[in-house]
């Protein structure tokens, strides 16, 4: 089954404790992206990647890192999480680039930083 | 600064009504516009629009893009309670960035 998976689905952590949210897709998609969704602010793009070893900042990259060492995986790293990073995070992928192909979204990761 | 603005932010109608959701944008090097439906989970794709004036249709939903006036509308006819959701508009622009609007929360009363 074609899908985008994220882990963990829920995470409660404390300020400053490094964490990684994994994202994996099995569709051989080139484009992958991370978003955060906050009430009243909608979905905002954090980072995206057009292919292996090619990553770019989205609108809200501060406090986040990503890597794309393999085509299928695109982990999101919070080196020193802060409470303002409490949010719902979505990973998405698409075949070619951006919105030229529909994006498939993962199920979301709900993060609470205390 | 690139932006996507959706209106209204929230809408409550009765089952059977027709609704029109709006999305206007100011995005450098526009490439395409997408509509998504989000219930209590991840967004799901509805339409992708790249050319002006060509209506995309799927059942009771339809959408059209006006690249001259920089907006798109999403129409839902004969609404049903299952149409209750947040509808998101997104635009792909320069450098492959994707910008989402804040969404329109639609609630259909039985």
Q: Quick one: tokens of B37?
A: 């439906």
Using an 8 Å Cβ cutoff, are B7 and B73 in contact?
Answer: no
Tens digits of residue pLDDT in B88-108: 999 988 777 889 999 999 999
**Identity of the residue in A35, A59, A107 whose CB atom sits nearest the CB atom of B41:** A107
Task: For residue A95, list chain B residues with Cβ-Cβ distance below 8 A.
Answer: none
Closest CA–CA distance from residue A43 to any residue of chain B (Å):
6
Nearest one of B76, B73, B29 to B55, comparing CA atoms: B73
* pLDDT score, position A100: 53
List phi, psi (to 5°) of B102: -80, -10
Q: Determine the Cα–Cα distance for residues B65 and B34; give it in Å rounded to an integer.
A: 10
* pLDDT score, position A99: 47
Using an 8 Å Cβ cutoff, are A104 and A5 in contact?
Answer: no
Task: For residue B97, list chain A residues with Cβ-Cβ distance below 8 A.
Answer: 45, 48, 56, 58-59, 98
Using an 8 Å Cβ cutoff, are B109 and B43 in contact?
Answer: no
3-state secondary structure of A85: helix
List phi, psi (to 5°) of A108: 100, 150
Residue A68 DSSP class: -
Tens digits of residue pLDDT in B11-54: 999 999 999 999 999 998 888 899 999 998 899 999 999 888 88
Chain A residue with CA closest to B37: the answer is A105
Q: Quick one: tokens of A88?
A: 């719902």
Instruction: Check whether A10 has a pLDDT greater than 90.
Output: yes
User: Other C-beta atoms within 10 Å of A96: how many?
Assistant: 12
Closest CA–CA distance from residue A105 to any residue of chain B (Å):
6
Residues of A with CB under 8 A from a CB of B: 31, 33, 35, 40-45, 48, 50, 56, 58-59, 90, 97-100, 102-108
């Amino acid at each position: 089954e074609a899908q985008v998976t994220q882990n963990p689905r829920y995470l409660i952590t404390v300020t400053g404790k490094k964490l990684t949210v994994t994202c994996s897709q099995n569709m051989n998609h080139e484009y992958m992206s991370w978003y955060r969704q906050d009430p009243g602010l909608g979905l905002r793009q954090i980072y995206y990647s057009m292919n292996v070893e090619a990553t770019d900042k989205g609108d809200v990259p501060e406090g986040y890192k990503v890597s794309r060492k393999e085509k299928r995986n695109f982990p999101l790293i919070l080196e020193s999480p802060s409470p303002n990073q409490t949010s719902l995070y979505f990973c998405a992928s698409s075949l070619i680039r951006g919105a030229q192909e529909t994006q498939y979204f993962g199920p979301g990761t709900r993060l609470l930083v205390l | 600064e690139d932006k996507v603005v959706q209106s209204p932010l929230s809408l409550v109608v009765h089952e059977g009504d027709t609704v029109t959701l709006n999305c206007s944008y100011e995005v450098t090097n526009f490439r395409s516009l997408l509509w998504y439906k989000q219930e209590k989970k991840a967004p799901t794709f509805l339409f992708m629009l790249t050319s002006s004036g060509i209506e995309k249709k799927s059942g009771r939903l339809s959408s059209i893009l006006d690249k001259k006036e920089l907006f798109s509308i999403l129409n839902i006819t004969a609404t049903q309670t299952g149409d209750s959701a947040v509808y998101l508009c997104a635009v792909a622009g320069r450098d492959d960035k994707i910008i989402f609007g804040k969404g329109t929360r639609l609630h259909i009363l039985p």
